Amino acid sequence: MKTIAVVIASLIAFSGKGHAADIIAPVKEIMEATKSNWADNNSDWTDIFDASRLDHLYSRDFVAKYQAAAQFPAIDDGISPFDYDVIVNGQDACPLEDLTMAAAPVVDGVAEVAVRFKKSACSDAPDAKDYTTVHFLVVEEGGKPVIDDIVTENIETQARDSLKATLALIAKGQ
């Protein structure tokens, strides 16, 4: 019980408004779009990096890195520096299942929001029921929480891959 109180106090201190849920708000918006993108509802694809989302969901540093990398689109559409979904960390996925979000205590001004889901549950692959975890690093800018980085877990290397580091490499033409 004491741990829960500490986490809540940290979240309240971070948000400055007394609303712990504020930290999760930008992550929730991205995950709702991602969940919709992979749903079996034939809806249009939602770009989680469109101008309106870049303007209000991401930190200035993240936006600068994204815009620099966007000068090197991955495919001929001239839009995105990625040719895969950075949240599911692939080009294929099933409707996302068992999605959960949890914010860790704020450390040095950064709140880590862990999002866990099954991305391949409709598959017959041996790892189809495995969970994917994505870590959103959330900071406060201009009095509101924004995403400063998206970190995925690399199953093969057991490393954590920073999207901002990937954007910096793309911007260098690598």
Q: Quick one: residue 84, left, alpha or beta (phi over 0 = left, psi -120 to 50 = alpha)?
A: beta
Q: Which segment of 66-70, 126-130, 145-149, 160-164 scores lowest on mean pLDDT?
A: 126-130
The per-residue pLDDT for 14 is: 52
* pLDDT-above-70 percentage for the chain: 82
Percent of the chain with pLDDT over 90: 47
Is the torsion defined by CA of 11, 17, 21, 24 positive or negative?
A: negative
Q: Note the pLDDT tens digit of each residue in 52-67.
A: 999 999 999 999 999 9
| Predicted pLDDT at 17 | 44
What pTM was computed for the model?
0.83
